[in-house]
Structure 1
Amino acid sequence: MVTSFLTNILAKLTAIIAGTSIQPVRYPSSVMPADIIVDFIVVGSGSAGSVVAGRLSEVPEWDVLVLEAGGQPPAFAKIPGLNFGAEFPNSSYTYEYKTPPQKYSSKFRINQAVEYTRGKVIGGTGTINQMMHHRGNPQDYGNWAAQGNPGWDYETVLKYFKKSEDYQGPLKSRDAPFRGFGGPLGVEKIPWMPPAGRVAIAAGEEMGLREVDYNTDTNIGSSVFQLAIKNRERMSSADAFLLPGLRRRNLKLQTNSQVIEIILNADNKAIGVKYVHNHKVKRAFAQREVIISAGAADSPKLLMLSGIGPKEHLEKLGIKSRVNLPGVGQNYQDHVMVYGISWTIHPNVSSSIFSRIGIKAMLNYKERRSGPLASPLGVCALYHLNIGSPQEPHVPDTQINMGCALEGQDYGLMALSGYQQSVRDYYRPVFGRDGFSMIPMLARPKSVGSITLRSRNPLDPPIVDPNCLSHPDDLSLMIKAAKASRKLGNAKAFRRALGAEPFRDPIPDCAHFEFESDDYWRCFVVGMSTVTAHMTGTCKMAPDSDPMAVVTPRLNVRGVKNLRVIDASIMPSITSGNTNAPTVMIAERAADLIKEDYGKI
């Protein structure tokens, strides 16, 4: 049913797109000759790889080659309201990674497992995500520096956040020093919200949360989301950095090229890569460096396939260990969130999924670049709170995302997919109803998981185990976050404007506990928790003294010459917000580090 529904929507959408000014972005892609030699090879054209490649190609005498496993993005990816593009029945755009059964979370999901969708397309996951632009909190970067990573403090990284950004939203004078203008990446406040979202700020004020720009030096408060968009169209890193760079002669992109091994010489120097293109294994060589920007799942996977990682794990799979780095694939951190804390509202005061992506919405977007399709489907506002960390009162430990739709509003087609039948039955009475939800997310989780190899076959997906809520402090904080979410949604502003009514019946699997008691919320949290797919930390940046260090503060892989990892995997600790903007910043900073190392700055 889901496939049929989405296929029909895609068919209608294709017809609409044909008459709009949106044209499919075609990235110039070349087929490289066998054993080509360049200065730099960048593996991956995602949120980090596109930035690195674009910036390195600014040096005219450097030849840069980007190898991307996926192909050209679909035209509909440019439309913000179709951010659920990963759900379309075309796996050529995505990787689907399924976790093992989770021990501490996701109890109400089928097989207690979670699916990760990652972009397999030019632009990577930045081509299919919700476009949220969130830098995190300044203290995140102070912590990175304090862990022995000089040059990653907030004052330094702020320059790179600003360098990337072309902010087009409203601005208060006190916030202006923190924003960037004229950079490659467009950033705007969410341009359209249903009525539920328009009440969000007033509801926050009622709870004592003032409106803030969370991409400045403060987070605590209420906000509408900021997006990586320009002219009401998605703007991925590939759009902002790679496409302009490809106009230069010294930057080349080859698509449909799955890198399967880093070529190391006898001195453990990275000299190139092996990759699969048109069903053939080919090679490319780098005179200066190989740069891995494949993401927090696939960067450690590629290192391990190349003999760089935990020796015991590699040898167990028959992979010769070249460099024993126990930290590769470890320190995996992800934000955990809880679905299902919901309210119904008066009929016809919100927007169902069908009206948001229907023909009327498509025509509105086509003719005026306005309406529901100008904004991502899903969350629209957010609240940053500190509810369990009194030692750092100005740093949020919880982010509550407001979903301007009810879990059952789409009749169970997407939002409830993956959940057990008992959960679907619980929401069935409100299928098709208008409503909203509060989705608490731990901003600074303590739980860690791992990425390990499934086999030595490079085409097998890795084993992705987030291990969410394994740290008892995370579960305790999430219970508080669930209660805070309920308090927010019960604000008088929502009731007065929308007739908001909370669910008053317990979810069946937790009905044996007193409704909304701590024991009830503990059961609810463990059952309805899942990951945000903010994958980080698996190639940890740390000093020599840390036995789990994978890369240096200049992002060189330890024990290997001429090899760097540049993406979200290098984060020593996850940032307290959506991770795409920090990933762009990491790549901006890394490009300058490389230029410094070769005397180009």
Structure 2
Amino acid sequence: MNDQATAAWACKGMSSQCTKRRVRSNLGPDQSSFMRHVKEELDRCWGLVDPLWSIQHLALPDMEEVDFIVVGGGSGGSVVASRLSEVAHWQVALLEAGGPEPTENQVPAMYLNHHGPSNINWDFKLDPQTSACLGYKGGCCHWPRGKVMGGTSVLHGMMYMRGHPWDYDRWVTLGVNGWTFKDVLPYFIKSEDNRQIGTVAEPQYHGTGGYLTVQRFTDKPPLIDAILAGAREIGCDTNVDLNGKRQLGFSVTQATVRNGERLSLAKAFIHPVLSRKNLRISLHSMSSWLQIQRSRDISPALLDLSVTKVIVDPMTRRALGVQYTRRGETFTRTLIARKEVILCAGAIQSPQLLLLSGIGPASELLRVG
């Protein structure tokens, strides 16, 4: 297949035009030369390329203060930064450890390219397990976590599944007021642009006009019909909205996909608002765990990332801002929040960042001095 034919294949059926633009490869060292070539051709389709590739070299302007600091540009941080910056007089800074989305991940089936060691995947290792992960060496599973704008929404399988109402309602019994399912449902509805309300999705649980497009994939392999037929034979419901009134049954799930392309949370919530002058994005700017791990055996590829911690007033115990460095810089930057510091660094790194900042169980902090 020659270059011209491959480029035509890569952009077939897309509204975007092709350009000679090149973007740095994110594929791992074990990828075949064919897949590398496919990736290069996809990079020529400007409609698929993350616009942040064009501005990632720009540093966050030297600002001593902003109103809100959002740490982490993943699934949570992208939404938070987008929503806060809707208020034009609020200055919002979004700090992210990784860079823009790789173009090949816009093709849904190619997300597995980055499962395992990759420069957009933290690729955490679990402790050895005795009753799980037995197919892995030493019983240690890999835990993919996105190190990229959009976070793990760039790496996952795109199924759109909310938590079960029971989980939200239980949080209230644990003291987390305002988080019942009834409380959070309006925000799920507000975020959605569901393309199948009334046919697949129950109207009272879904919405349109939001940033997040939700729909089923148009392709439906025959195997799916066979699975659903088997479920009906044993008496299971196969006409169920998995995010509706009843979540028990078998169904073809909806996904965060738009026009056949992956829709990460950064693509949904950040890309449309990049022109907002009150939103500042600094990439390669949040990698707190390296601060305590430099003496350990770590791949040098991870050490070029920046270090950050939350600045806390020891008297009032109020978060004042963050300290961070960007990749390639040898000095520490300080950013002060007039209103709030919001941690959206994920289930692992948000609590880790708190510990690095001196916030957490006393026994854990005393153990490391």
Q: Select the residue among 287, 298, 308 that pairs with 2:359.
A: 308
Superposed, 1:139-538 pairs within 5 Å as: 139-169=166-196, 171-172=198-199, 175-211=202-238, 212-258=240-286, 259-267=307-315, 268-277=317-326, 278-280=328-330, 281-318=332-369
How far 1:220 moved relative to its partner? 1.3
**Counterpart of 1:290 in structure 2: which amino acid?**
V
- Aligned residue for 1:253, secondary structure, equals strand
SS at match of 1:95: coil
2:49 corresponding residue in structure 1:
24
Among 61, 65, 76, the alignment partner of 2:93 is: 65
How far the C-alpha of 1:129 sits from its partner, in A, is 1.1
In 1: Cα distance, 2:221 partner to 2:73 partner: 34
Deviations 1:445-500 (A, max 9, x none): xxxxxxxxxxxxxxxxxxxxxxxxxxxxxxxxxxxxxxxxxxxxxxxxxxxxxxxx
Gaps in structure 2 of 5+ consecutive residues:
1-26, 287-306
Q: Structure 1: which amino acid aligns with 2:48?
A: Q
Task: Compare 148-157 and 14-23 and name the one that shifted more.
Answer: 14-23
Determine the structure 1 residue equivalent to 2:83.
55
Instruction: Pick which of 299-308 and 94-103 moved more.
Output: 94-103
Following superposition, the deviation at residue 9 of structure 1 comes to 4.1
Identity, in percent, stands at 36
Distance 2:148 2:113 in 1: 12
Q: What is the CA distance between 1:198 and its match in structure 2?
A: 3.0
Using the TM superposition, give the Cα deviation of residue 106 of structure 1 relative to its aligned residue in structure 2, in angstroms.
2.4
Alpha-carbon separation, structure 2, partners of 1:4 and 1:196:
34
Quote how far apart the aligned CAs of 1:59 are.
0.7
CA contact (8 A) 1:42 1:293 kept: yes
Q: Does 1:46 align with 2:74?
A: yes
Find the partner of 2:141 among 110, 114, 120.
114
Bigger mean CA deviation after superposition, 19-28 or 273-282: 19-28
**Which sits farther off after the overlay, 174-183 or 200-209?**
174-183
Structure having the higher Rg: 1
Structure 1 residues without counterparts, runs of 5 or longer? 319-601
Match of 1:126 among 146, 153, 157: 153
- For residue 40 of structure 1, report the CA deviation from its aligned partner: 0.6
Query: What is the DSSP-based 3-state SS (H/G/I as helix, E as strand, rest coil) of the residue aligned with 1:42?
Result: strand
The aligned residue for residue 79 of structure 1 is: 107
Cα deviation for residue 143 of structure 1 reads: 1.8
Quickly say closer, same or farther: Cα 1:124–1:3, change in 2 above 3 A: closer
RMSD (CA atoms): 2.2
Q: 2:43·2:49 contact (CA, 8 Å) conserved in 1? A: no
Quick one: which of 15, 32, 38 aligns to 1:13? Answer: 38
Equivalent pairs counted in the alignment come to: 316
Letter of the structure 2 residue corresponding to residue 308 of structure 1: I
Q: Structure 2: how far apart are the matches of 1:108 and 1:248?
A: 48
* CA spacing shift, 1:229–1:174, aligned 2, 3 Å: closer
- For residues 173 and 7 of structure 1, the distance between their equivalents in structure 2, rounded to whole angstroms, comes to 39
- Displacement after TM superposition at 1:276 (Å): 2.2
User: 2: distance between equivalents of 1:154 and 1:312?
Assistant: 35
CA contact (8 A) 1:165 1:185 kept: yes
TM-score, normalised to structure 1, is: 0.50
- Distance verdict in 2 for CA 1:115–1:18, change over 3 Å: closer
